[in-house]
Each structure stands twice: as C-alpha cells, then as structure tokens.
Amino acid sequence: MDEFFDFVIEKYSWLIDSYMTRYFVDDLWSKLPVSWQLALQNIEPEECTCLVNASAPSQRIVLPLALLCLKTLVASLPPREAVTSPAAVARSCGIEVETPQDFHNITSANNLRTKLKPKKQYEIDRIVTTVELLRRRNPGQRALLIGLHPCGDLSASILRIFTRSPKVTTMILFGCCYHKLSTVEEEASCSQPHSAYRMQCYRAVLESLITQSHDEEICKQRSSIVVHSVVGRDGITFEEYMRPALAKYPEIVEALEEQLKHDEESRRIIASVDSEWRRFLVVHCLRLILAPIVEQIIIKDRVQYLEECGHSVAVVPLFDPKISPRNFAIIAMKDSVLLIDLLYI
C-alpha cells in the first residue's frame, strides 16, 4: 500500500498542492492528462458524483483507467463510519474498563448548548465520553491534551508537547483540513444550483485579475487582500460579484473595472466562465478524490512518529463523517499497554 501511496503523491502532487482560486492563473485544466480531458470535458455536475464517491459508478461516461485505479485505491482505505458506542472506543484503545452504553449528552445540561452549533455539541459529547474512558483506565494521569481540528502547525505543536512534556500522559488529536480537505457531503455536493459553481469560478477569475494586474495599489496589497463570500443568484455578472467581494477595497475595485475596459485578455477570461465552470468543477472533484489518500498518509506519519517515541497509539473514527468530516481521532497514551493493531498502520 505504501508504494501505491508514494506513486500517487509523486504523480499527482501538482493537483494535490493546487488551489482552486488559481484555476485560471495556473491553467489547471490543461495540466490534466489528455485522456481525462476528453472523458470529462462535457460532464454534468450531477455526474461528478462518480469522481468523488469511490463506490459510485459512472453512468454515462467511461472513466480513464487511471481514475478507476484511484477510485479502487480510495475504496480500500480504512472505513470512515463512526464507532457506535463507548465500548467500541475502548476496544480500539485496548481499554478494559466498565463503559457506558451510550455517549454522554453533556451539552444538554447546564445551558451548555448556548451558542454551540449542533456539530460542535455532537463533537463535545463524544470527546467527553472518550476522555472519561481514558481517565478510568489511568486515574492517576496528570494531564490530557486535546486537539480538535487545530489549524496550521498547531497539530505538529500538539504532538511535540505530548512527546516532550512529562506532565501530559494522554493525547486525543483530530487533524484539521489537510489543505481544505472535506467530504463529498460538505464540499462537493453535486446538487448545488449552477449559479453556485459560477460563483466559485468567478472567485478564480478575480484571483487571476489581481495576480496579473500592474496597478500600484493592487501590487502593494496583493498578498493581504481578503475576498468576502458573495451570495449567488442566477444571472449574476462578474462585476456584480466583484463589488461585494472586494467591498473593503473600493480603490481596487475601481482599478479592476478600469483594467476590464482596456484589457482584452481579462474580458476573455470572464466570458469563458459560461463554459469553463464545468471544467472548474471537474478539477475540484479530482482534488477531492485524492484527499482521503492524503489524509491517510498524514495520519500514518503521525502514528509512526508517536510509536517511534514509545507510545501506545490507536486511530478511532470517533465522529460521523457526515457531521464532522475530519472524524479520525489519534489517541496516544504514555504507557506500555498493547493496543489493537489497525490494518492500515
């Protein structure tokens, strides 16, 4: 399996590392293999499910062999279905203690639901139950470190703190987005209105205009410009999108509007959105099919690091991925307890 992972990462690193906001800047569609372009250039959004769902068959198109192999590889990854009981968590971690029949519902008490979204309530309830299991197993532990989707380098910092601090005896770590990783349900729903895809494509057009601009004001602020989300609607033009997206930068809006008057290439890119948004969606979906592979590589790397440091480690799908997509918990303990070996470690 490691050899397959290495091959995929080496061959498709350009796609994994790409940003959809740079779709036009980096001409991502042209970088796809020709066979992929020919097979997918006329695909409808509803058909893109076969790209991001490893078990979904393609109904109207014949996928290239390389894509079929990728889908097979993704389908062979560890299942994402959440554990159904605290007992399942205990078994995965090799904990032999009395377990409750169900996960706690702590957020229903003491007004803890105030300003907590249902997703966060669900995560807290499951984490609290897991913490209680770990406490029962080692009642003398000094401190337990929890990282719930820490951003950027915080995950690496949590790993270092756990391995270096004698006061921290247990760790529960859920990785973050791994470069905006998500699930089909959250990020690539193929039932969105077409206007939503156009809006995402407009964002890439805006990035292209900003990148190519020679305006002095834009050049000074290019790296710090914050583009706001815009609610889409049928028939919205690029100019109607750009103004609220750059509401904080009226001088940049003015400069870009002037650029559109005189730059034929900028106008051509905007005009191409009518046909290009389907290709944009295809590239996005291709990135998503690679995302679970990247996730497993990162999880495996962290598990091996912890094991090399002499700690017991288990990987538990604690959350329902439809509720909380980054659902794998890396649970590590500083003792010699033999944990159940996971097939993918």
- pTM value is 0.82
Could you tell me if 70 and 219 lie in one domain? yes
Could you tell me if 188 and 211 lie in one domain? yes
Do the domain assignments include residue 342?
Answer: no
Residue ranges making up the domain that contains 95:
86-174+331-336
Q: What is the tally of structural domains in the chain?
A: 2
Query: Tokens in use for 66?
Result: 């390389």
Could you tell me if 195 and 131 lie in one domain? no
Could you tell me if 101 and 45 lie in one domain? no
- Tell me if 89 sits within 8 A of 316, measured CB to CB: yes
Could you tell me if 90 and 69 lie in one domain? no
Could you tell me if 205 and 282 lie in one domain? yes
Do the domain assignments include residue 322?
Answer: no
Tens-binned pLDDT, residue by residue, of the chain (345 aa):
678 888 898 999 999 999 999 999 999 999 999 999 999 998 888 888 888 888 888 888 899 999 999 999 999 999 999 999 999 999 998 888 788 888 877 666 555 666 778 898 899 999 999 998 888 887 777 789 999 998 878 899 999 999 999 889 999 999 886 544 434 444 444 545 667 888 999 999 999 999 989 888 898 888 889 999 998 788 899 999 999 999 999 999 999 999 999 999 999 999 999 889 999 999 999 999 999 999 999 999 999 999 999 999 999 999 999 999 899 999 999 864 433 333 333
Could you tell me if 192 and 66 lie in one domain? yes
Query: Tokens in use for 39?
Result: 């097979």
If we measure between CA atoms, which residue out of 248, 268, 254 comes closest to residue 216? 254
Do the domain assignments include residue 318?
Answer: no
DSSP 62-90: ---HHHHHHHHHHHTSPP-PPP-SHHHHH
Do the domain assignments include residue 164?
Answer: yes
Could you tell me if 127 and 247 lie in one domain? no
What are the helix (H) ranges across 99-215? Answer: 118-137, 154-164, 184-187, 194-212
Could you tell me if 301 and 196 lie in one domain? yes
